[in-house]
Amino acid sequence: MLQIKNLHAGIEDKGILKGIDLEVKAGEVHAIMGPNGSGKSTLSSVIAGKEEYEVTEGEIFLNGENIDELGPEERAHAGVFLSFQYPVEIPGVSVTNFVKTAINETRKAKGLEEMPASEMLKKIREKAELLEIDRKFLSRSLNEGFSGGEKKRNEIFQMAMLEPKLAILDETDSGLDIDALRIVANGVNKLRNKDNAVIVITHYQRLLDYIVPDFVHVLHNGKIVKSGTKELALELEEKGYDWIKQEATI
């Protein structure tokens, strides 16, 4: 699904990612953990194709194809979805209108007709139910005045609607209370199948109790310094990141 080889990237001459190697196969869940400033969010932005980051070295492959030259919307059309840590507000554009536009633009890019209204409605109902989203919520302006939990739930709702191949959840657990966390995690679990993959970026192990990863990677100073299974996350929770930092400097 996703292959990252020796990825170096940064912003305005400042190197942030310093040689990332990662392979994510279909059906897998990978967790990327690490202390603040280790490059977690940069990695997700670079995979999604955010322009302000410059890739100086290395390659990213999606389903065997190099996506370095693709713009963010083309990567989205190819099945990359990023659940934003800080979702942006778009006043006057309802959640429904936004999702509808996203789906139809993606279909257009693939040479498909717009999704019939009845099908769209059915899908919206189904996915809203899955994430316990109130109908009224769908008519509100995108992210405007949303609570932290509502914003994150809205991200996962969009993910459910767009059915991506690769979903990257960037700090989806931040700002969520325990009930919201459970609903969101539940939603993600229901959306998982053998054909898609999930990368969970998180600071804490909490979310991983609900979305159980196949692999855990620790990012430090722009590099993956340790990889393991879900037990690694528990170890980090117990011991903190300091021992990793020390290990990395040796």
Residues forming contacts to another protein in the complex (CB under 8 A) are: 48-52, 69-77, 80-82, 84, 87-88, 90-93, 97-98, 101-103, 105-106, 109, 141-142, 158, 162
For residue 208, give both structure tokens. Answer: 């991983």
C-beta of 93 vs 120, nearer to another protein: 93
CB 226 within 8 A of CB 247: yes
Which residue, among 199, 202, 147, has the nearest Cα to 171 in the 3D structure? 202
C-beta of 76 vs 233, nearer to another protein: 76
Instruction: Give the Cα separation of 214 and 119 in Å (integer).
Output: 34
Q: Say if residue 112 is exposed, middle or buried (CB neighbours under 10 Å; 0-12, 13-18, 19+).
A: exposed
CB 54 within 8 A of CB 8: no
Nearest distance, CB of residue 75 and another protein, angstroms: 8
C-beta of 170 vs 225, nearer to another protein: 170
C-beta of 51 vs 231, nearer to another protein: 51
C-beta of 169 vs 236, nearer to another protein: 169
C-beta of 37 vs 71, nearer to another protein: 71
Using the 8-state DSSP alphabet, how is residue 241 labeled?
A: S
Coil, strand or helix at 204: coil
For residue 96, give both structure tokens. Answer: 């429904």
Which residue, among 138, 189, 135, 196, has the nearest Cα to 165 in the 3D structure? 196
Nearest distance, CB of residue 183 and another protein, angstroms: 22
For residue 73, give both structure tokens. Answer: 């919307």
Nearest distance, CB of residue 86 and another protein, angstroms: 8
For residue 246, give both structure tokens. Answer: 């020390």
Nearest distance, CB of residue 182 and another protein, angstroms: 25
Nearest distance, CB of residue 104 and another protein, angstroms: 9
Nearest distance, CB of residue 234 and another protein, angstroms: 32
C-beta of 69 vs 113, nearer to another protein: 69
Nearest distance, CB of residue 115 and another protein, angstroms: 13
Instruction: Give the Cα separation of 75 and 69 in Å (integer).
Output: 10
Q: How many beta carbons lie within 10 A of that of residue 219, not counting itself?
A: 23
